[in-house]
Structure 1
Amino acid sequence: MTPSARLSGAIDLLCAIQNAPRRPADATANTFFRERRYIGGGDRRTISNLVWDVLRGWRRLHWHLQNTKGDISPRILCAASMVLSGNSMEHVRQLFSGERYAQSPLTSREDIALKTLEGKELSQQKQPIAVRLEYPDWIESLLKETFGSKMPDEMEAMLGLPTLDLRANLLKVTREEALNALKRESLHATATQLSPWGIRLEGRQPVTAAQAFKDGLVEIQDEGSQLVVAAADAHPDQRIVDYCAGAGGKTLALAMAMNNKGHIVACDVHEKRLEGAVKRLRRAGVHNVERHLITVGDKWVKRRAKSFDRVLVDAPCSGTGTWRRNPDARLRLTPQDIEELVQKQAEILDRAASLVKPGGRMIYATCSLLTRENDEQISAFLKRNDNFVLLPADEMPELLPKILREKSSFSLTPLRNGTDGFFACVLKRKE
């Protein structure tokens, strides 16, 4: 594709994302490219990069364009992002040539608005802090509850590009062997600092096209997510429930930790997500997993009360810890969402807790930065359930690095740990 055609593709994709405001942008993008299989891998990456640059800079771009007459369209947002990234107006005008596959020429209104941006940077100190750090105004007090005076630094780190982390599948290879397999395919990677299974790739590399991925030697999984699994301390002789399994990322890691022995039940309320796990399980060589769809009126939980050694609850949450990866989530989140999620998390915790056998453990995790969804949720649970206690620090799994074993819970952020934002807490049912 020509540069002009790529720009047109980016504008079309951004339009599609705007037309589905409650749908995650990555899901819209997957559909967009699936319907346009003629777009090659390199072109897809270029188109996606421009669109995600716009999403990451959404509030700042609108601030720069606030005096523009008329609508702030995907056309002008993409163009503004390019200008504020250092592209000249002459180059941008050439991309809007009106020729085949190119966008129509810039209107005088668009040209004037973009011309004022030349030589400027996306971030400006005079921008309101919520604009400069790309978070909704209403969430500032909740972020300050979590981070206090460090909030600006933490949110600044959230503006960075996410890492591309993999987990070596120890059912098939050691981490060193996985690193060598990636190296043979010219994929530059290093071992992660915190997860004992983690691998980090530099920049955006086509890992899913690599034979090491196709053969199930590695799985895509953020290092923070791997550490949540490490907190479960899974063993081969155990029975484990992954209560909110989704497409099975943590289920796969649990199976690996159990050496494909014992028994795992992957539960979820979404049938398509559970179906999506099948291919991943097969590729990884996992065969100790049973899938269970939770439905309204389901008696499964009641019938299996107090029968599992571990119950992992990766609860639905605000996803604020994944804003580097999913910048569009900042735009969708509302105060009402938080209220509904906190209630849902409490209900899920109470149901899942009934599955834990005496002496067993429940691991509660979110990819949220908010205290309301994390520490406060745990405190409320313990008040409702006096048969559970926080796991003593000296019983925290040795798989975790020492800095994460100082108490029964840990929080991860891009600034402090170089991972997505995660929270995990280990609870123990009294004997």
Structure 2
Amino acid sequence: HIPAAAAVDQMVRCARTSGASRAAGFVNGVLRHLVRELDSIAPPSLEADPLSHLVHALSLPEWIAARWLRRFGAEGAAALAEACNGRPPTTLRVNCQRGSRGDLVDALRVRFPAVAPCAVASTGLTLGKPLHPGQETSFREGLFSIQDEASQAVIDLLDPKPGEHILDTCAAPGTKANAIAERVGPDGSVVATDRHERRLSLVGRESRRLGLSNLRAHCLDASVELGQLRADHPEAFDRVLVDAPCSGLGTLRRNPDARWRVRPDDPERLAESQRKLLDQALQWVRPGGALVYSVCTFEPEECEDVVAAFLAAHDNVSLAARSALLETLVPWLDETGYLRSFPHRGGGDGFFAARFEVAS
């Protein structure tokens, strides 16, 4: 948690920066008075007024609080909101091209005695305390990357195999694309696309740190321009990942200000572009191949509703059978075979993912 004095100081600075210097003293006085009286101010209780409790005690916009109450009930919504206000665990992804998970555990144990394999992600480690990457020789040598366990589980759902050729359509900044490149190895390849050229440059920088030479990046809008890949990549891919732009409500503990930027109509608006991304990506999956759709949110419009619309539009696509997915994913798979993770259940960020199989 941020110390009260630091929060007050920051708000006073914000007042000055925004051109309201004359109000800075007023802001300082009001906030300091609030700090002195804070212990005597009781927020609404969850039992008496669940909505107000989520809004005032747990810092949720009212529209998000109302949504979560409808979906998860009072206790579930409060547990989720509290987790979204907490500190996320530090999790690593082992670079399997440069060593095993056991090797990295041995290398880190002296500085991180609590280091242990993740419960779900097959190449993940949890450290038990924060890590400063620049201070770790093993990070600079490309032995691992920092990646949330739920984000890693999406790669396990895709399940890349050595020697395969895979497309990641919304790749920047490259965390998942490079994870895939590690899995397919030097005999495989990854094509990473993103419409933001500046962010796309981060993909290659990370590849170089990890010692990977099997990844190529293309700057294009995957919702309308994937056809431009045809000249350089005439063949379809074994697997395609669509890690689509979304409301990001599953990562509020990493991006706490997102709750104030996302608008009530954003989930439905974003779903339209998510459906376009899937439609474009499908043309690049070879017969018998796999397509994975993932978002770091749990809002139905961006999750199961997108999946339902996609399946209804394409009769050559089906959901992968739950029994065909990696056994390590079972704790986060629902009865349909969707991957669902929540910050208050299992520790990972909030993710939704579905794997489709394309008919041969």
TM value normalised by structure 1: 0.72
C-alpha separation in 2, matches of 1:178 and 1:366 = 29
Q: Which position in structure 1 is the counterpart of 2:228?
A: 300
Residue equivalent to 2:307:
378
Counterpart-to-counterpart distance in 2, 1:13 and 1:307 = 56
Matches within 5 A, 1:145-160: 146-148=71-73, 150-160=76-86
> Is 2:101 the partner of 1:169?
no
Q: CA deviation at 1:142?
A: 3.5
CA–CA distance in structure 1, aligned partners of residues 26 and 261 of structure 2: 21
Instruction: Give the structure 2 partner of residue 11 of structure 1.
Output: 10
Aligned counterparts, 1:14-413, within 5 A? 15=14, 107=29, 109-117=30-38, 119-120=39-40, 125=45, 127-144=52-69, 146-148=71-73, 150-185=76-111, 188-295=114-221, 299-301=227-229, 307-398=236-327, 400-401=329-330, 404=333, 407-413=336-342
Deviations 1:72-119 (A, max 9, x none): x7996xxxxxxxxxxxxxxxxxxxxxxxxxxxxx64x554443222x3
The alpha-carbon distance between structure 1 residues 233 and 399, as it changes in their structure 2 partners (threshold 3 A), is farther
Q: CA deviation at 1:371?
A: 1.0
In structure 1, the residue corresponding to 2:344 is in which secondary structure?
helix
Deviation at 1:387, TM superposition (A): 1.5
Q: CA deviation at 1:160?
A: 1.9
Of stretches 403-412 and 261-270 in structure 1, the one that deviates more from structure 2 is: 403-412
Name the CA distance, whole Å, in 1 between partners of 2:156 and 2:12: 38
Across the aligned residues of Structure 1 and Structure 2, the Cα RMSD in angstroms comes to: 3.1
Amino acid at match of 1:331: W
Amino acid at match of 1:268: D
Q: 1:186 to 1:339 in 2, by over 3 A?
A: closer
* Deviations 1:111-141, CA, capped at 9 Å, x for gaps: 4443222x34786527543332322212344
User: Is the CA contact (8 Å cut-off) linking 1:306 and 1:354 kept in structure 2?
Assistant: no
Contact 1:301–1:355 at 8 Å: present in 2 too? Answer: no
SS of 2:274 mapped into structure 1: helix
CA distance in 2, matches of 1:75, 1:380: 53
Corresponding letter in the other structure for 1:410: L
Aligned residues: 345
Pair 1:282–1:13, CA change in 2 (3 A): farther
Contact 1:267–1:292, Cα closer than 8 Å, also in 2: yes
What amino acid is the match of 2:90? L
The 3-state SS of whatever aligns with 1:425 is strand
Deviates more, 1:240-249 or 1:386-395: 386-395
1:423 is paired with a residue of what secondary structure?
strand
Which of structures 1 and 2 has the bigger CA Rg?
Answer: 1
Q: Contact conserved, 2:191 with 2:218, CA < 8 A, in 1?
A: yes
Deviation at residue 309 of structure 1 after TM alignment: 1.0
TM-score by length of 2: 0.85
C-alpha distance in 2, partners of 1:291/1:254?
13
Q: Which runs of 5+ in 2 are unaligned?
A: none
1:158–1:323 Cα contact (<8 Å) kept: yes
- For 2:43 and 2:255, how far apart are their aligned partners in 1? 19
Partner letter of residue 36 of structure 2? Answer: K
Query: Which stretch shows the higher mean deviation, 150-159 or 368-377?
Result: 150-159
For the residues of structure 1 that align with 2:200 and 2:317, how far apart are their CA atoms?
29
Amino acid at match of 1:214: R
| Alpha-carbon distance in structure 1 between the residues aligned to 2:353 and 2:85 | 23
SS at match of 1:153: helix
- Counterpart CA distance in 1 for 2:8 and 2:203 is 31
Amino acid aligned to 2:137: Q
Q: Deviations over 1:38-74 (max 9, x none)?
A: xxxxxxxxxxxxxxxxxxxxxxxxxxxxxxxx97x79
**Which amino acid in structure 1 is aligned with residue 186 of structure 2?**
N
Distance 1:198 1:311 in 2: 22
Kept in 1, the 8 Å contact 2:63–2:264? The answer is yes
